[in-house]
């Protein structure tokens, strides 16, 4: 089968088309004939050598795919050959065939094509578990999502707005801010021209927001704490600006703040299966009704994965970049 491998840590040019044997599904796994594979920022980090696959995972990049089940492994009863699915995987998505644990597969939502379906798993699993589980966002609360136009951001905006929360986002241009507002954000804050702490203060009449989903890490830590309301939660899911920063603990005590975070990839199949069940119950109806949708910015053929990474690193995109295989 055709795959794209990381020949060595480096720039987009290290993404190299190659031939490999089709993998075998083990017990509890399915073999997927891949139609499309989503590209995510963690793939870029893996390519640079900064995010190695967890033990036992494929060394190939690619954390999500859509396609048709070719074969099921021993003990799989919920799926069979021919089913159209999308799946969260711990690696191996940049390939014509990919193996996925059965609990991490979900049906392609009615009304969506394979390209849209491939753009769902990584950001929907991540947003669900960090915004609604870890971050405990409730209807009527306010949230600030950094990187509103990212794959994660465009998902978080729609899910939080659908859940009845007021959403603010930061983004790097006025055009991106407008795109986020069209998706349901009450206000986009252009972080290049406006201080987001001050903007949040004005937008919330001095109260602050209940939840911040952060992707920048260190350089935003203190400003994030200052932008939170009493009882506010800061959830770290990305450290694009660095991981170590001083913290003034008085801010936590004075306003009963919570700082937490998580990464999805190393979590167990069982935990990911639990998230998949929640998505199927609570989010699949929204996807099938068109209330929320994956935002696909551009598709490129699998062989052009290097170009897809260049595009992602340019930050020109709004939403997701998807590799097409079939
Ligand atoms: N913890 C987890 O389980 C998990 C899972 C998936 C993703 N993530 C993380 O979530 C983040 C978003 O991932 P994604 O796949 O959605 O990526 P993405 O679409 O490439 O989004 C990254 C966003 O970051 C912004 N950005 C880039 N460089 C920046 C900088 N120097 N300063 C400020 N903003 C910058 C860009 O928008 P602007 O033009 O507005 O700057 C871009 O929209 C990444 O940090 C990724 O590692 C975490």
Task: Compute CA 114 distance to the chain's CA centroid, rounded to the nearest angstrom.
Answer: 17
What is the pLDDT of the chain when averaged over all its residues?
Answer: 98
Please say whether the beta carbons of 68 and 33 come within 8 A.
yes
First to last CA, the chain: 12
Residues 6+ apart with CB under 8 A from 113: none
Instruction: Please report which helix (H) or strand (E) contains residue 288, including its range.
Output: helix 284-289
* pLDDT over 90 at 313, yes or no: yes
Among 238, 243, 320, 321, which residue has the most ligand 1 atoms within 8 Å of its CB, making it the best to mutate?
238
* pLDDT over 90 at 320, yes or no: yes
Please say whether the beta carbons of 148 and 169 come within 8 A.
yes
CA of residue 147 to ligand 1 center, whole Å: 6
- Report pLDDT digits (tens) over 223-239: 999 999 999 999 999 99
Which phi and psi (to 5°) does residue 172 adopt? -90, 5
Q: Which residue has the tokens 């989503």?
A: 38
CA of residue 269 to ligand 1 center, whole Å: 25
Write out residues with Cβ below 6 Å of ligand 1. Answer: 40-42, 122, 126, 147, 149-152, 171-172, 176, 215-216, 237-238, 240, 262-264, 312, 315
**d(C-alpha 245, C-alpha 222), whole Å:** 8
Please give the DSSP secondary-structure letter assigned to residue 290: T
Among 12, 41, 242, which residue has the most ligand 1 atoms within 8 Å of its CB, making it the best to mutate?
41
The pair of three-digit structure tokens given for residue 160, joined into one six-digit string: 């939080």
What does the pLDDT read at residue 326?
72
Tell me the pLDDT band of 206, cut-offs 50, 70 and 90. very high
**d(C-alpha 138, C-alpha 278), whole Å:** 16
- Report pLDDT digits (tens) over 90-145: 999 999 999 999 999 999 999 999 999 999 999 999 999 999 999 999 999 999 99
CA of residue 113 to ligand 1 center, whole Å: 25
* pLDDT over 90 at 75, yes or no: yes
């Amino acid at each position: 089968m055709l795959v794209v491998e990381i020949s060595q840590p480096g720039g987009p040019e290290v993404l190299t088309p190659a031939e490999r044997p089709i993998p075998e599904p083990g017990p509890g796994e399915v073999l997927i004939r891949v139609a499309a594979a989503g590209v995510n920022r963690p793939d870029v980090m893996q390519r640079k050598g900064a995010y190695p696959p967890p033990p036992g995972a494929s060394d190939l990049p690619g954390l999500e795919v859509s396609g048709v089940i070719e074969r099921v492994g021993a003990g799989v009863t919920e799926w069979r050959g021919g089913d159209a699915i999308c799946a969260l995987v711990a690696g191996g998505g940049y390939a014509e065939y990919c193996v996925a644990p059965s609990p991490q597969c979900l049906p392609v939502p009615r009304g969506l094509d394979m390209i849209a379906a491939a753009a769902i798993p990584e950001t929907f699993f991540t947003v669900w578990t960090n915004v609604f589980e870890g971050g405990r966002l409730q209807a009527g609360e306010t949230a600030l999502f950094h990187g509103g136009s990212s794959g994660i951001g465009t998902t978080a905006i729609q899910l939080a707005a659908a859940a009845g929360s007021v959403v603010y986002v930061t983004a790097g241009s006025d055009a991106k801010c407008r795109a986020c507002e069209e998706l349901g954000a009450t206000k986009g804050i252009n972080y290049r021209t406006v201080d987001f702490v001050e903007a949040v203060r004005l937008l919330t009449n001095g109260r602050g927001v209940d939840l911040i989903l952060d992707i920048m890490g260190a350089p935003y830590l203190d400003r994030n704490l200052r932008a939170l309301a009493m009882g506010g939660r800061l959830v770290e899911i990305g450290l694009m600006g660095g991981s170590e920063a001083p913290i003034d603990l008085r801010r936590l005590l004075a306003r009963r703040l919570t700082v937490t975070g998580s990464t999805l990839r190393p979590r167990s199949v069982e935990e990911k299966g639990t998230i998949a069940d929640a998505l199927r119950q609570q989010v699949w109806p929204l996807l099938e009704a068109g209330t929320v949708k994956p935002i696909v910015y551009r598709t490129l053929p699998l062989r052009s994965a290097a170009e897809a990474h260049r595009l992602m690193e340019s930050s020109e995109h709004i939403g997701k970049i998807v590799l097409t295989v079939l």
